Chain A
Amino acid sequence: MTEALEGLADILARHGCDGTRLMQILRETQEVLGWLSPSTLTEIARSIGWPRAKVEGVAGFYSFFHTEPMGRYRVLWSDNITDRMLGSRELMQAMCQSLWLEPGRVSEDGLVSVDTTSCTGMCDQGPAVLVNYRAITRMTPERVDRMAELIRAETPLAEWPTEWFHVEDNVRRADILLDNTLRPGEALKAALAREAETETAANARSWREGVHTDTLGPSAVLEEIKKSNLRGRGGAGFTTGLKWEACRHAPADQRFVVCNADEGEPGTFKDRVLLTRQADLVFEGMTVAGYVIGAKRGYVYLRGEYRYLLEPLNEILSRRRDMNLLGESILGRAGFDFDIEVHLGAGAYVCGEESALIESLEGKRGVPRNRPPYPVTHGFLGKPTIVNNVETFAAAALVAARGGEWYRAIGTSKSTGTKLLSVSGDVARPGIYEYPFGVTVQQVLDDAGAANAQAVQVSGPSGLCVADNEFGHRIAFEEIPTAGAFMVFNKDRDMFDVAQNFAQFFAHESCGFCTPCRVGTTLLKNLMDKIGRGHGTQVDVTEIRQIADLMQAAAHCGLGHTASRPLLDTLKKFRPAYERRLQSLRFQPAFDLDGALAQARQMTGRDDSGAHLENAE
């Protein structure tokens, strides 16, 4: 126990007992102690000077923090529809049987627990699991057996087969971004070389109050970003140049650059690949942004599922400091000070929303803020902050190096440049495809080897379900906008299963702040489960529509606004998938008399016909 307390003291000291670093303190503490016990939380709260209940509330918000022991081995199966299509549920069932476990329950000896988690971003190489928050891909029945043996023998993770932890990049089509040959620092040097052509009012403005009133370079770079017409790659598509300009012009003594690497949208994994292959380019784009807006500090908010990337990314940051691409007086430019730190999330999809992400970065529960004010004026620690997607920063670095004119010539007029698509599902070649904007859905399907596709879920559950009569449409902000997910379903798939999976996802990920989303996502999930069990009627479909209406009108943030979209989309385009499950009755109660006897059957170990009520017909 004293050893444990010493470990905790080290962690707290390393973070300066700073409450805004609570997420990192909790994660590191849990990595050492296994879980966050009541006394541990008390000690952390005391050290950072926060109310204990607030610390407990933060620990309770994130799926990857445990305030109860969850076993020395915690196995979490990625529960995206693409994992399910690859047999994840059957494999998880087999694992539970092999370990004599119920999903979600810790074994009696405190050894192991097995459960599901939201998509872990390994859809091109599923079924995937996290074991003690380390990613393992391509699960098979053999791997399940072997893993159960290793767990029973209490073999440390470090001694597990290394190939299990191997994550493929699967880059299938590369374009300007993935094919770039820029060396570290090249884009930054090009940016520093740019000087403003004319001294406009904006140029003459100090880019960092009190420092460098005579520096015109940053506004020249901003002009290139604006000229490129680069738009945010996280889904919303806000013009990057305008965001940077608004932040640059917001009066403040400090500004921040935040890279949103909380790639939580099920079916998306392109940021994982960018951070694996092009981390320098991403960091370079962040540094360019720091130069433009006058920020000294940048943060990468990395989703907890990508914990394995933390050490490699820190090594690259360290190398960049050695090369004077980070730190003080970068590349010899006096006053150009900028550094980057990687913060890890802990399993909360809602933190992909920029204001929730900032809350989380400040060590709080990831609840979206009331807006206005927006982060460009009141962001991290109340200071002007830009939050951009990983891919946006990589593209910005390209623009800094090659210029806005060059960039805007690629893609369509309203959607310039290229887009990385994370292709998964029923295709021969799942992986990353980079295309200039304007590519048709059909072209992507052909390139990925999708025979017999009936639908594509573009941009994940919160995106659009595209049916085969729409495959001629183009991927672009003005036609089918996307954050990158591209999940393909062939004609043998049941689109109701897809929608049901998404309804379960949103119910799990709602932050719970506002009534319509907190209760609405659960009501939708319950209604979909009821229809899935064959107990649904037309009344339930009408009910889904009414709840969806309310959520779209009244929810607090984008999660609640979009949570009903996959249901409405599939109802519109794949109605037979629902109708063949509906009872002809006008109404049927959700209460299932036979289902209510399940616990009694389990307790008595019976499942014969005599243990069932014949009320189903």
Chain B
Amino acid sequence: MSNTFTVDGQEVPFEPGQTVLQAALTADVFIPHLCYHPEFRPHGSCKLCTVEVNGRPATSCTLPAAAGMEIESNTAEIMAKRRMLLQMLLVEGNHFCPSCEKSGSCKLQALCYALGVMSPHFDQFYPDRPVDASHPEMLLDFNRCILCELCIRASAEVDQKNVFALSGRGITKHLIVNAESGRLADTNFAPSDKAAQVCPVGVILRKRRGFAVPIGSRPYDAQPISDQAERFKPVVKEGS
């Protein structure tokens, strides 16, 4: 048996060291995910990429690929679980797509459409999460945060700035910034930071840049995210 496994019967080749999700995305096989980003180490917190391996549930972004694995991903049961996870994320924050600048390029919204989430289903939590508009060029709308930690990872690993971190626990867990005042303006955050580019939803936004790309021309407007696996192919780093 060579270095391949199957996803819903389809054969997927992998390189040693790749995780199941990385190999699947490389092979244009889409598995829903939110906290995974091709340029960062897998995180394993959103659980959208949950699959079944030989009948047992597993998180595909952190699961090392192994030859001969039989993976089920798009079964009715797994899809139902993913829809419930998306609904959980919807009620936990305050998401109003029509007024959000990220509509059409938001991965949460795109996955909801792709998986057929037609309503939040659960009772809304309506958390109180004030917006931080202190920074002259950037805006933080915490209402939309899904706690994927991509901005935290980008700021620490790429920008070497540690602008973001998490505080609180459980349902009160929330994003904070690196300043005694708690305000983004008092950090060394800059619009050119990697952390400013990675938010999969609409938390970290450039001020005065609304609707630069018109609605209808945005990445997920024309084609469902599930048909765009090529967007998330792992980046081959030099020397690796």
Contact = CB atoms under 8 A, between A and B. Distances in A.
Contacts of B147: 512, 518
9 shortest interchain CB distances as A-B pairs: A60-B167, A53-B165, A51-B162, A512-B173, A519-B88, A53-B178, A510-B170, A553-B57, A57-B165
Contacts of A549: 81
Kindly name the residue among A39, A516, A550 whose own CB sees the greatest number of chain B CB atoms within 10 A: A550
A591 B126 CA distance: 13
Contacts of A523: 88, 122
A554 B47 contact: yes
B88 A53 contact: no
B26 interface: no
A357 to B, nearest CB: 15
B84 interface: yes
B176 A370 contact: no
B171 A56 contact: no
A584 to B, nearest CB: 21
Interface in B164-199: 164-173, 176-182
A41 B167 CA distance: 13
Interface of B: 42, 44-48, 50, 57, 59, 62, 81, 84-85, 88-89, 91-92, 122-123, 125, 146-147, 156, 162-173, 176-182
Contacts, number: 121
B180 to A, nearest CB: 5
Contacts of A39: 180
B57 A508 contact: no
Interface of A: 38-39, 41-42, 51-54, 56-57, 59-63, 348, 365, 370, 507-516, 518-523, 526, 546-547, 549-550, 553-556, 590-591
9 contacts: A53-B163, A53-B167, A53-B176, A57-B167, A507-B170, A515-B46, A515-B85, A522-B171, A553-B81
A519 B89 contact: yes
A42 B180 contact: yes
Given A510-B171, A515-B48, A516-B85, 13 more contacts: A38-B181, A41-B180, A53-B165, A53-B178, A53-B179, A54-B165, A508-B170, A511-B173, A515-B45, A519-B171, A520-B88, A523-B122, A549-B81
A518 B168 contact: no
Contact of A512 (B48, B81, B170): B170
A553 B50 CA distance: 8
Most buried by A among B170, B179, B180: B170
B85 A554 contact: yes
A187 B92 CA distance: 54
Contacts of B48: 515
Contacts of A519: 88-89, 91-92, 171
A573 to B, nearest CB: 26
Contact of A526 (B88, B89, B123, B166): B123
A550 B121 CA distance: 15
Which of A60, A62, A365, A509 has the largest count of B CB atoms less than 10 A from its CB?
A: A60
Given A53-B177, A515-B89, A519-B91, A554 B167 contact: no
A53 B171 contact: no
A51 B178 contact: yes
Given A38-B180, A507-B171, A554-B47, A547 B165 contact: no
Contacts of A510: 169-171
A555 B81 CA distance: 12
Nearest to B52: A553
A511 B168 CA distance: 9
Contacts of B180: 38-39, 41-42, 52
Given A516-B88, A590-B123, A554 B170 contact: no
B178 A52 contact: yes
Contacts of B156: 51
B144 to A, nearest CB: 15
A554 B52 CA distance: 10
A100 B181 CA distance: 32
B228 to A, nearest CB: 22
Contacts of A38: 180-182
B123 to A, nearest CB: 5
B57 A512 contact: no
Nearest to B174: A60
Contacts of B164: 53
A547 B81 CA distance: 9
A521 B186 CA distance: 35
Contacts of A53: 162-165, 167, 176-179
